[in-house]
Amino acid sequence: MTTSPPRRIDPVDRAHLTGVSRPSPPIFRYQPSSRLAQIVGRYWIPVWSLSEPSTQSTLQHPVCLLVISNTYARFYGVVRGRSSVTLEGHGWAVGAMLRPASGRLLLGASVSDLVDSHVDLRALTRLDGAGLAEQITAAMATDPSDEAGHLAAITAYERALSPLLPLDDPGRLINAVIDWLTDHPDVTRVTDVAEAFGLTERTLQRLVLDRVGLSPKWLIQRRRLHDAITRLKSGAGSLADLAAELGYADQAHFTTDFRTVTGMTPGQYLADQ
């Protein structure tokens, strides 16, 4: 349970497709408590006040999401392509980016059933979605930018999610697999991932499908695109060199992958930073 102010974090968001023409509203990001670190990756709290609608696009991490806003409360599966949300007027959201292990534990079934979709929080039988939404709405009622309200909202999340502990063995394994893949940007073959964990490719496939909803090959592509976004946001120089660093055969293959998923070329994205 969170009993002291959670630590603020401000990473370069590998998932958020921001740019000069696509600015982001203020987003407060917090680490989970050490006890919930196997369940939650981080909490994020955007707060906006807009004179005209703004569409925010992301390449989602390979995890499920809990999002409670001033207008809805939802549980999201992984989106295989680009996901977008349009913000309007005044609003806020309090999101929990879960760890790979957590989605199945909340859904009570393979998260492959929820790819590219979401359900109302009240549909989850392993969480009091209505009660959690009420608590977070109350925490954010006075001032959505106030850290005291953020602490109260995060405490509500951690209280609701703590019954998922301790993790099951497949949950610990999928967390380790995706952490390892993130830390090994040179890995581009599914067989290398399987061998690193002493698994057959078929066993790895079943694990990833059950806990993430997609394939190990998709995991590798998503990690490569996240690495690309990080480099492009920092002002990468030669796109040909970047393609080689990411393990692509050539710049054309990199451009095709990036454009297919994001809707723009790497050059267009770089120019907008």
Q: How many residues does the chain have?
A: 273
Residue 47, helix vs strand vs coil: strand
> What range does the domain containing 216 cover?
169-271
Residue 73, helix vs strand vs coil: strand
Long-range contacts of 81-84 (CB under 8 A, 24+ apart): 81/116, 81/261, 82/17, 82/57, 82/58, 82/261, 82/262, 82/263, 83/57, 83/58, 83/59, 84/55, 84/56, 84/57, 84/58
Q: Are residues 25 and 143 in the same domain?
A: yes
Task: Answer whether residue 1 is part of any domain.
Answer: no
pLDDT in tens, 165-180: 999 999 999 999 999 9
Strands 118-120 and 73-76: what pairing?
Answer: antiparallel
Query: Which region holds residue 213: left if phi is over 0, alpha if psi is between -120 and 50, else beta?
Result: left
Q: Are residues 156 and 198 in the same domain?
A: no
Domain CATH code at residue 264:
1.10.10.60
Q: Are residues 127 and 84 in the same domain?
A: yes
Task: Answer whether residue 3 is part of any domain.
Answer: no
Task: Answer whether residue 2 is part of any domain.
Answer: no
Q: How many CB atoms lie within 10 A of CB 226?
A: 19
Cβ within 8 Å of residue 132, ≥6 positions away: 68, 73, 121, 156, 157, 160
Of 82, 77, 73, whose CA–CA distance to 15 is shortest?
A: 82
Is 0.95 topped by the overall pTM?
no
CA-CA distance, 105 to 39, in Å (whole number)?
Answer: 10
Residue 38, helix vs strand vs coil: coil
Q: What would the DSSP string read from start to end of 243-268?
A: HHHTT-SSHHHHHHHHHHHHSS-HHH
Task: Answer whether residue 96 is part of any domain.
Answer: yes
Of 243, 178, 233, whose CA–CA distance to 16 is shortest?
A: 233
Residue 179, helix vs strand vs coil: helix
Burial zone of 107 (CB within 10 Å; 0-12 exposed, 13-18 middle, 19+ buried): buried
Domain final residue pick, 119, 136, 164: 164
Q: Which stretches of the chain drop beneath a pLDDT of 50?
A: 2
Q: Are residues 152 and 44 in the same domain?
A: yes
Domain final residue pick, 164, 197, 214: 164
CA-CA distance, 200 to 204, in Å (whole number)?
Answer: 6
Kindly provide the b/e burial profile for residues 145-164, where b requires at least 16 CB atoms within 10 angstroms of the residue's own CB.
eeeebbbbbbbbbbebbeeb
Q: Is the peptide bond before 25 cis (omega within 30 degrees of 0)?
A: no
Q: Are residues 160 and 173 in the same domain?
A: no
pLDDT score at 54: 93
Q: Are residues 184 and 222 in the same domain?
A: yes
Task: Answer whether residue 45 is part of any domain.
Answer: yes
User: Domain count of the chain?
Assistant: 2
Task: Answer whether residue 23 is part of any domain.
Answer: yes
Domain final residue pick, 128, 143, 164: 164
Q: Are residues 128 and 216 in the same domain?
A: no
pLDDT score at 14: 86
